Amino acid sequence: MVYGAQGLNSMSQTFHKLFRKHLMKSEWSKKVRPILINNWEATYFDFTEEKIISLAAQAKELGIELFVLDDGWFGARNDDTSSLGDWDVNLSKLPNGLDALATKITDMGLMFGLWFEPEMVNEISKLYKMHPEWAVCVPDRKRTLGRNQMVLDYSNPEVVEYIYGKMSNILDCGKISYVKWDMNRYITEAYSSALPADRQKEFFHRYILGVYALYEKLTTRFPHILFESCASGGGRFDAGLLYYAPQGWTSDDTDAVERLKIQYGTSMVYPIASMGSHVSAVPNHQVLRTTSLKTRADTAYFGTFGYELDITSIPDEEKEEMKKQIAYFKKNRDVLQFGSFFRLQNDNDQRVAWMCVSEDQKRVVAAAYKVLAKPNPKLRKIRLKGLNPQWKYRCEETGQTFYGDELMNFGLICETEFTGYMTAPDYRGVHHAGTDIGDFTSQIYTLTAIEE
CA 446, CA 442: separation in Å to the nearest integer?
A: 13
Query: 404: Cβ–Cβ under 8 A, 6 or more apart, which residues?
Result: 361, 387, 388, 389, 390, 391, 392, 393
State yes or no: is 252 an active-site residue. yes
| CA of residue 306 relative to chain centroid, distance | 8
State yes or no: is 298 an active-site residue. no
Q: How many CB atoms lie within 10 A of CB 30?
A: 12
Q: Which of 153, 182, 255, 298 is catalytic?
A: 182
Stretch (H or E) spanning 403: strand 401-403
CA 403, CA 392: separation in Å to the nearest integer?
A: 4
Question: Which 3 state secondary structure label does DSSP give 22?
Answer: helix
Q: With contact defined as beta carbons under 8 Å apart, do 255 and 309 qualify?
A: no
Q: With contact defined as beta carbons under 8 Å apart, do 336 and 365 qualify?
A: yes
Question: Which 3 state secondary structure label does DSSP give 346?
Answer: strand
* Helix 293-300 vs helix 256-266: crossing angle, to nearest 10: 10
Q: Which of 252, 310, 436, 439 is catalytic?
A: 252
Q: Which of 179, 184, 273 is nearest to 228 (CA)?
A: 179
Beginning with the edge strand found earlier in the chain, give each strand of the sheet holding 441-451 in spatial order.
340-347, 351-357, 363-370, 441-451, 392-395, 401-403
Tell me the catalytic residues.
182, 252
